Amino acid sequence: MSHDHHHHSHDDKSSIKRVQLALVLTGIFMVVEVVGGIISGSLALLADAGHMLTDTMALALAAFAFRVSSRPADTKRSYGYQRFQIIAAFVNGLSLLAIVGWILFEAVMRMINPPEVIGTTMLVVASAGLVVNVVVFLILHSGDQENLNIRGAALHVLGDLLGSVAAIIAAFVIIKTGWMPIDPLLSVLVAALILRSAWQLVRRSAHILLEGAPEWLNLADMQSKIIASVPQVTEIHHVHVWGLTPQHPMLTMHVVLEEKPEDPTALVRSVKQVLKSKFGINHSTIEVEIGDCADH
């Protein structure tokens, strides 16, 4: 158990460093894009700078969430602060959905009234943006992908990366043909790709916030494995499984025995061992009952 805790704290330290590095790179390039947008008069670049501003805020929120979640448990927060990461992931997911709405609205406006865009400046700044976004995405993607906080930050950056690719393609088309509607058309495609990932992030983080059971866990299979492995256990009920984060599942359950065991602690230890070795559940509370359920 001590090894497991050490592993998670090491992962969190690595994740904090990744998010902080990504935050610095994204923040610097956001300023570059604003300047490029003003010089070229390109609304596309200013819009992308707005997107990068939300990326910067998302990364700052993710970094703050890691800091808060590393605080030890206290009397008011007996589970500690790890759940704050999930709140950050949920907020990031909602902000991505808002960005999708904004991109679609902006695309419709541009279809109706396409603005003049200087293709060459747009191409240079968008290409530089692509390089920065690829670097930032690789930094985050090589981190712990089961961590929803890291995933939320990476999805923001992936959305921006796709936006840079779309801006480069649009710039080429504008330079070669002068056809302005390509910009909003590609924006809609990017919005559709962001929408799918954003919805998955919101759904997964909301599931954890609602104390949902881990999606990978089959409760019937878990109960049958415990009964098969610990012969004294005849029945299991009042099973509650949830997670502080996807990496920290928790469980409470009642196990029913036919007769009082010689060593109740050894029996509980056997059940905990099955939960730990077969299902990776390190934090469990087991209530032992002989015959009747104490809650009836």
Kindly report, residue by residue over 188-239, the tens digit of the pLDDT: 877 787 787 788 888 988 998 998 888 888 888 999 999 888 888 888 989 9
Q: Is the pLDDT of residue 10 over 70?
A: no
**Beta partners for residue 287, in sequence order:** 254
Determine the pLDDT at residue 41.
Answer: 61
Whether pTM > 0.85 for this model: the answer is no
Q: Is the pLDDT of residue 1 over 60?
A: no
Beta sheet of 249-257, edge-to-edge order:
233-243, 249-257, 283-290
Q: Is the pLDDT of residue 3 over 60?
A: no
Which amino acid, 18? R
126 and 162 Cβ atoms separated by less than 8 Å: no
Q: Which of 116-130, 213-227, 264-278 has the lowest mean pLDDT?
A: 116-130
Q: Is the pLDDT of residue 131 over 50?
A: yes
Domains in the chain: ranges and CATH: 2-209 (1.20.1510.10), 219-290 (3.30.70.1350)
Asked whether the CA dihedral 166, 169, 172, 178 is positive or negative, the reply is negative
The fraction of the chain above a pLDDT of 70, given in percent, is 90
DSSP string, 141-205: HTS-TT-HHHHHHHHHHHHHHHHHHHHHHHHHHHHHH--TTHHHHHHHHHHHHHHHHHHHHHHHH
Kindly report, residue by residue over 44-93, the tens digit of the pLDDT: 666 667 667 777 777 787 777 777 777 888 888 888 888 888 888 898 88
Task: Give the mean model confidence (pLDDT) for residues 104-131.
Answer: 81
